[in-house]
Amino acid sequence: DTGVSQDPRHKITKRGQNVTFRCDPISEHNRLYWYRQTLGQGPEFLTYFQNEAQLEKSRLLSDRFSAERPKGSFSTLEIQRTEQGDSAMYLCASSPSDEKLFFGSGTQLSVL
């Protein structure tokens, strides 16, 4: 068990470009969450998967954001036409139930 893995750790992009992040949850965890954290704030919920089904999406997730979890294993979060306001730490977490979340180290996105 290597924990939740996120790739890349850092991403610098120019405004208007598309970016994609990957999350590999702890194996056999059926729940997977994406959160966004900006400096000095707590994590904000973006979306949640149970297996391959995306069951809940936050209003924060505009139509430029899309997340997938094919086959209920790893997940990707894509941001299209990035804006400077998208700069943040994107956190992935997995859980075997609603007991607790296991977080990855996050992907730090900087949009120039």
Task: Give the footprint of another protein on this chain (CB under 8 A).
Answer: 31, 33, 35, 40-45, 48, 50, 55-56, 58, 89, 91, 93, 98-106
Shortest gap between Cβ of 100 and another protein (angstroms)? 5
CA-to-CA separations, 69 to 16, 23, 53, 75, in angstroms, rounded = 24, 9, 7, 4
Shortest gap between Cβ of 47 and another protein (angstroms)? 9
Q: Which is nearer to another protein, 93 or 109 (CB)?
A: 93
How far apart are alpha carbons 51 and 7 in whole angstroms?
Answer: 20
Q: Which is nearer to another protein, 18 or 41 (CB)?
A: 41
How far apart are alpha carbons 57 and 66 in whole angstroms?
Answer: 10
